[in-house]
Structure 1
Amino acid sequence: MKNIAITKDIQSALTADSVLQDLLKGNNRFVDGNSQSTDNSALVSQTTGGQYPKAVVLSCIDSRVPVETVLDQAIGDIFVARVAGNFENVDILGSLEYSCKVAGSKLVFVLGHESCGAVKAACDGVELGNITEMLDNIMPAVKKSAIEVDGEANSSNSEFVTKTVENNVLLTIDRIREKSQILSEMEDNGEIKIVGGVYSLQTGKVNML
């Protein structure tokens, strides 16, 4: 049972690699139907005075990808930043920097997912209110995939959508390193790692990129 929250000492002893393996083991438990039981009351009590999460996950808002659930994490374990299409902007970057530089997280994990609605909308050039400007953040991935994948460059081409989901994760990672001197320097110094993966709606499995 998970009933002991991460403390500062525990967090300090972690490495980016160990945190990544922990998250992937948690995902394996989820896929296998062996998610850990949790004493939420104990964790709430232990985290009232502070928090020391081991990672920050940048994910999509999609209701089918509840991040703590699919990675089998509990209260106090991870930060989660969510935006449709799991891209970075100044607010997300500030949140990631806070997570790592201020709060001590060891890993930035950009998590895309299969059949992402935001990615499909970007592939189709959807224009609707504020959604239009939001989708601009995903267009670099759309354009990259159009060069790499044969067939129609829209959501009717499943291979194109799949490649765009992957490229969106990878380009987001590139832009995080480019736009955040804090995170880039922390990664260069071995304090953190910035990684990415894609969640399968069909299997529940997180596949690293």
Structure 2
Amino acid sequence: MGLNKIITKLEQEALTPDEILNDLMEGNNRFTSDNFHSRDYNALKVSATVGQYPKAVILSCVDSRVPVETVFDQGIGDIFVARVAGNFENKDILGSMEYACKVAGSKLVFVMGHESCGAVSAACDGIELGNITHLLSNIKPAVEAVKTEGKRDSTNKKFVHDVVEKNVRLTMERVREKSPILKDMEYKGDIKIIGGVYSLQSGKVELLS
């Protein structure tokens, strides 16, 4: 795959889910070491007009401190990115993931939470405000599932961290439960569904086992 043209259909088809994951993690290593690939974005823009065959779809939080393509050192046309505060799934995001994988050929579904997530912290605090109340209800199952010592609110940093991880794991489970298409593709080995947590401090993405 060249750095000055977008990935082609043949290149996408030749990749395995594990190779794509390895590519993303190598990109994250370049990000943390400030050793980015050099890209000709004008050439990429022209190349992108013929179509798109991204390698992966990443579900991330809307947090402005988590620039997904940059975190993985990916260029134009390399990945789909779905974003919502708290990086949880809903019907629209599931449909987007199904499009990415079943229609456009992506082979990796990556749910990525992040350190010090404001949406998770708000869910831990039981915040209720306008449409935010409904949004946070999607994170509540993770809050309720985590056991902790001390306070069960955002002042307990370990509690928030554990809820961030649990929220990623529960989101992955619900993707499988709510999307027979993606579950079947994973069962057949056509895709992988994985999760990870991004560190604001180090820039590293830690995969969840």
Question: Which TM class, normalised by the smaller chain length?
Answer: over 0.9
Is 1:137 paired with 2:138? Answer: yes
TM-score, normalisation: structure 1: 0.98
Is 1:206 paired with 2:208? Answer: no
**Secondary structure of the residue that 1:129 maps to in structure 2?**
coil
**Secondary structure of the residue that 1:155 maps to in structure 2?**
coil
**Secondary structure of the residue that 1:11 maps to in structure 2?**
helix
* Residue identity (%): 66
Matching residue of 1:194: 193
- Structure 1: stretches of 5+ with no match in the other structure: none
Correspondence list, 1:87-106, <5 A: 87-106=88-107
CA distance in 1, matches of 2:3, 2:62: 26
Correspondence list, 1:58-207, <5 A: 58-145=59-146, 148-207=147-206
CA distance in 1, matches of 2:79, 2:20: 10
The offset of 1:174, in angstroms, is 0.2
Alpha-carbon displacement from aligned partner over 1:25-47 (angstroms, at most 9, x marks no partner) = 00000000101111111111111
Query: Alignment length, in residue pairs?
Result: 207
Alpha-carbon displacement from aligned partner over 1:123-180 (angstroms, at most 9, x marks no partner) = 00000000000000000000011xx221111000000000000000000000000000
**Secondary structure of the residue that 2:50 maps to in structure 1?**
coil
**Secondary structure of the residue that 1:45 maps to in structure 2?**
helix
**Secondary structure of the residue that 1:128 maps to in structure 2?**
coil
The offset of 1:5, in angstroms, is 1.3
CA distance in 1, matches of 2:192, 2:148: 29
CA distance in 1, matches of 2:191, 2:149: 37
The offset of 1:4, in angstroms, is 2.5
CA distance in 2, matches of 1:149, 1:21: 33
Matching residue of 2:40: 39
CA distance in 2, matches of 1:39, 1:78: 17
- The ranges of structure 1 where at least 4 consecutive aligned residues each deviate by more than 2 angstroms after the TM superposition are none
What one-letter code is carried by the residue in structure 2 that aligns with 1:179?
A: K
Alpha-carbon displacement from aligned partner over 1:82-118 (angstroms, at most 9, x marks no partner) = 0000000000000000000000000000000000000
Task: Note the aligned Cα RMSD (angstroms).
Answer: 0.7
What one-letter code is carried by the residue in structure 2 that aligns with 1:128?
A: L
Q: Is the contact made by 2:5 and 2:48 (CA closer than 8 Å) also made in structure 1?
A: no
Alpha-carbon displacement from aligned partner over 1:59-99 (angstroms, at most 9, x marks no partner) = 00000000000110000000000000000000000000000
What one-letter code is carried by the residue in structure 1 that aligns with 2:186?
A: E
What one-letter code is carried by the residue in structure 1 that aligns with 2:155?
A: S
